[in-house]
Structure 1
Amino acid sequence: MNSLKFLHFSDIHLDAPFGSLGSELLAAEKRRQDLLEVFDRIIDIAKMEAVDIILVSGDLYEHEHVRKSTIHYINKKFGEIPAIKVFIVPGNHDPYISNSFYRNFEWSENVHILSADRPKVFLKEHNACVYGAGFSNFHQEKSLIEGMEPADPKHINILLIHGTVDLNFKKNRYNPMTSSELSLLGMDYIALGHFHNTLWGIGKDGKIYNPGSPEPLGFDEEGEHGIFIGRIDFVSEREKKLYVKFEKTCKRQYKSLEIKSDFFESDDQIIDMILREAVKNENRDDLVHITLRGYTAPGYRINAANIANAIKDSFFYAVVSDETVNQYNYEELVNEPGIKGLFVRKMFSLINKAESAREKHLLMKSMQYGIEALEQGKVEVL
């Protein structure tokens, strides 16, 4: 019985700029180092698990930002595992274009770049065929699997592909496909990339897997991140057994913390509340987005930048969003006969029609500033 063991990862985005960290240049450089350390861990896992092949489903690096020294480092690490074949399909961040390192760099002998020039590799020792459909530009409006012939069931068949699956976008520029179309190809495992969240066994036959980014890259990627380890056993042309497990690799996590109070009265009070929450949740190595919700004392203005600066040593990185509302007695104001009462009634009519919590919050803030302007003749916004 033929068997093939693999490690599948994608979207590590080596040398990513981490522009979301703003002016925190040291933090951005440390995050780039984090990515290299996670890449090292992936290579170590491949050795420990004694896999036959590594599947990289695109966005291995950032074409616009990658340093040549990083490419040398990647290749060195792949070269340290000569018995493990590495298959890479280019993504939208590392496309197979004229000045791509995939075209113009001498990769280790065990590294195979799958592209239109070389769309598949047959592994005789495993009776397996590895197919690849990757980006030849930063955008791919037409599906890369259009016209692809179904795989030969006499082999173990794997497809590496980067793109969007089952998304109902009118104009998708990132290789739009459906899980039904992919299932028709008769693959025994489809190694998908592009989504940064994990997808387990989707499609009609449950053969489509996306590990997500092995290290999260932004606040929209909360939770644990990692890679897939799998094995395909060839029992017969009609029966191939697939086993897949998830392995955590992330060094840090992005987390959202919510701090609530009916009466915020000082920045120091808020700082103490955040630090107590940080100790309780052990967030020191994480990147946190702290949202303040509730009511502030009349006249008190939260200084989010001051708070973020005061707590910065308790987290790897922290950003503070103020979604509080100044504590006015709106129930009394709504019954006033003058312009303030009229204004508050008009605002409440809009607030009651708000379609989201965010819209409601912005309208409440607008009402607060409007009352201040009417009472004080000016508005101070921090």
Structure 2
Amino acid sequence: MEHVRFIHAADMHIGSPISVAKGSPYYIKELLQDSIYIAFTNLVRDAIDYDVDFVILAGDLFDQTNRGIRSQLFLRKQFLRLEAKQIPVYIVFGNHDPVDVQYAPMNWPANVHIFSSSPECKRFCKNDTIVHLYGCSYKGKVVHENLAKSYEKKAGAHYHIGVLHGQEGQGLESHSYAPFTKRDLLEKNMDYWALGHIHRRSSLSERIHYPGNIQGRHRKEVGKKGYLLVELEGGHSPSVSFQSTAPILITKVKVRIEDNDTIDSVTDKLLAAIATKKRDAIKGICVEVELVGAGPLYYYIQEEMNEWVAALNEIGESEQTFFYIFSIINGIEPLMRTENNHFVKDILESADYLSNNPDILEKEWDVLLQHPSLRPLLSSHSIDKSEVMAEAKQWIRLLWKGDDS
């Protein structure tokens, strides 16, 4: 029995660009809009360079249900590159690209194996070594069933791999995406579970993995993005290593300003913080900056924030590895002003306490949800409570700006 090596990727969302502000330079817009295509091209390059036995794509290859002609033709070209090297591709489609919707038909190369909307087993052979891959594509945008329970191992293989696009847990937010529990997967006794749907890379066990997406698409999808390179060898746990593909790094930096009382010194410190994020393999950085600490610059920065961000992005354009600032969160504490107004100081301290204690913030949030006027504004699952707290503190400072004059 030989070992097998394969790439496990998911959530490519091909056709989904990174959004940027109006007025951004054309070449940056173009690179951001093409970043996912570049990331997938890098994945195919690596599959060939690493001489993998096959590639697994665990759902949401496309961002839109119509899949897009450009996106489909792009994928076909990449799959043909793999076919030329005799590398098969195994695909399940997810909630963004279900099979039971209308889209332009495409004849995929012979090396592409797509799982239907009913659980099935596909067979891969490498000399005398046999691998069974089990998968099921989404029929529609939602799947309430626990698909994992319907996967049944078939005898006659040296390795068994489950491919599943779904979310762990039975909660309200996950019930539409083939919910499962870790126990459900472990009971199947697969050699490896190739999961998709969660865009943050994570491991449920040494044999159960989410690779995350191959390129961050907005300011909340931070950190290195790519795929998992997996090796299976009889009698051993899987060897799993992360490999980066993303040409654009989306990240956050926090800059403390206690020892800075001029805008040039804060600017220099911010640029130095961004420079620490640069890597040889990336072409650019999209960053959200948070300023923290006590100092006199709060109001100056707040009043001219847009101009400052524009000036910083002009600097970023000229860098070999460019950077683009999504936004700057002004968390500077104007202590001299709040010390002269104990009411404001108490409010800000309470806000800091809640921000630093998410469990208590959650309880207080639930209290606010009981108010009929606030419930429609605060009940959305997309609300980031920490961002709401930060914005509320900014408004408090601005409203009391002249109070101690």
Q: Unmatched 5+ residue regions in structure 2?
A: 317-321, 357-385
Normalising by structure 2, what TM-score? 0.77
Equivalent position SS for 1:165: coil
Partner of 2:11: 11
Paired position in structure 2 for 1:144: 147
- Report the equivalent of 2:53: 52
Other-structure match for 1:338: none
Q: Does 1:120 align with 2:127?
A: no
SS at match of 1:141: coil
Relative to structure 1, the CA distance from residue 96 to residue 22 in structure 2 (aligned partners, 3 Å threshold; closer, same or farther) is farther
- Once the two structures are TM-superposed, the CA of residue 37 in structure 1 deviates from its matched residue by 1.8
**1:366 shift after superposition:** 4.6
1:58 Cα offset (Å): 1.0
Q: Distance in 2 between matches of 1:172 and 1:232?
A: 32
1:151–1:187 contact (8 Å) kept in structure 2: no
Q: How many Å apart are 1:317 and its aligned residue?
A: 1.5
Deviation per CA, 1:211-245: give whole Å up to 9, x if none.
Answer: 111222233333322222223234xxxx4653333
Q: Distance in 1 between matches of 2:25 and 2:140?
A: 29
Is 119-128 or 351-360 further displaced after alignment? Answer: 351-360
Which residue pairs with 1:333 in the alignment?
341
1:175 is displaced (CA, Å) by 1.6
Task: Indicate whether 1:348 and 2:355 are aligned.
Answer: no
State the structure with more CA Rg.
1
Shift of 1:246: 2.4
Question: What do the CA deviations read for 1:273-314 (whole angstroms, capped 9, x no partner)?
Answer: 423434455488211111122333586453221111001132
* Residue matched to 2:286: 287
Please say if 1:111 is aligned against 2:119.
no
Q: Alpha-carbon deviation of 1:349? A: 5.8
For the pair 1:257 / 2:253, whether they are aligned, the reply is yes
* Counterpart residue type for residue 102 of structure 2: N
Structure 1 residues 52-201: aligned runs within 5 Å: 52-64=53-65, 66-82=67-83, 83-100=86-103, 104-116=105-117, 119-125=120-126, 126-152=129-155, 154-166=157-169, 168-169=171-172, 172-200=175-203
* Structure 1 runs, 4 residues or longer, greater than 6 Å off: none
What does residue 370 of structure 2 align with? none
Give the C-alpha shift of residue 84 in structure 1.
Answer: 1.0
| Aligned equivalents of 2:45, 2:100: Cα separation in 1 | 30
The answer to whether the Cα contact below 8 Å between 2:65 and 2:98 also exists between their aligned partners in 1 is: no
Partner deviation per Cα, 1:27-60 (whole Å, 9 max, x = no partner): 4542232222221221111112211211001111
- 1:368 counterpart (397, 401, 404): 397
C-alpha separation in 2, matches of 1:281 and 1:192: 29
- 1:175-222 Cα deviation digits (max 9, x unpaired): 21111101112211111111222224x34xx31122111222233333
Judge conservation of contact 1:286–1:317 (CA < 8 Å) in 2.
Answer: yes
Provide TM-score, normalisation by structure 1: 0.81
CA distance in 1, matches of 2:297, 2:55: 58
Q: Which residue of 1 aligns with 2:310?
A: 309
Distance 2:167 2:32 in 1: 26
Matched with 1:274 is 270
AA of the residue aligned to 1:174: Y
CA distance in 2, matches of 1:51, 1:43: 10
What is the distance in 1 between the residues matched to 2:119 and 2:152?
15
Q: Distance in 1 between matches of 2:299 and 2:130?
A: 74
**Structure 1 residues 139 and 264 mapped into 2: Cα distance closer, same or farther (>3 Å)?**
farther
Partner of 1:340: none
Superposition deviation, residue 132 in structure 1 = 0.9
Percent sequence identity is 21
Task: Write the distance in 2 (CA, Å) between the matches of 1:109 and 1:12.
Answer: 21
Q: Deviations over 1:59-88 (max 9, x none)?
A: 112125743122112112211222111101
Tell me, in whole angstroms, the C-alpha distance in 1 between the residues paired with 2:340 and 2:328: 32
Relative to 1, partners in 2 of residues 1:141 and 1:298: Cα closer, same or farther, differing over 3 Å?
closer
Counterpart CA distance in 1 for 2:37 and 2:174 is 34
Alpha carbons of 1:193 and 1:46: their partners in 2 closer, same or farther (altered >3 Å)?
same
Aligned residues of 2:118 and 2:137 also touching (Cα < 8 A): no
Cα distance 1:144–1:22, how it changes in 2: closer, same or farther (>3 A)? farther
Structure 1 counterpart of 2:226: 226
Q: CA deviation at 1:355?
A: 1.6
Q: 1:144 to 1:188 in 2, by over 3 A?
A: same
Counterparts of 1:139 and 1:212, CA distance in 2: 20
- Matched with 1:321 is 329
Is the contact between residue 267 and residue 307 of structure 1 (CA under 8 Å) also seen in structure 2?
no
Equivalent-residue separation in structure 1 for 2:310 and 2:21 (angstroms): 14
Distance 1:274 1:59, change over 3 A: same
Q: What RMSD over aligned residues (CA atoms) do the two structures have, in Å? A: 3.1
2:167, 2:197 within 8 Å by CA — same for their partners in 1? yes
Deviation, 1:256, is: 1.1
Q: Quote how far apart the aligned CAs of 1:260 are.
A: 2.5
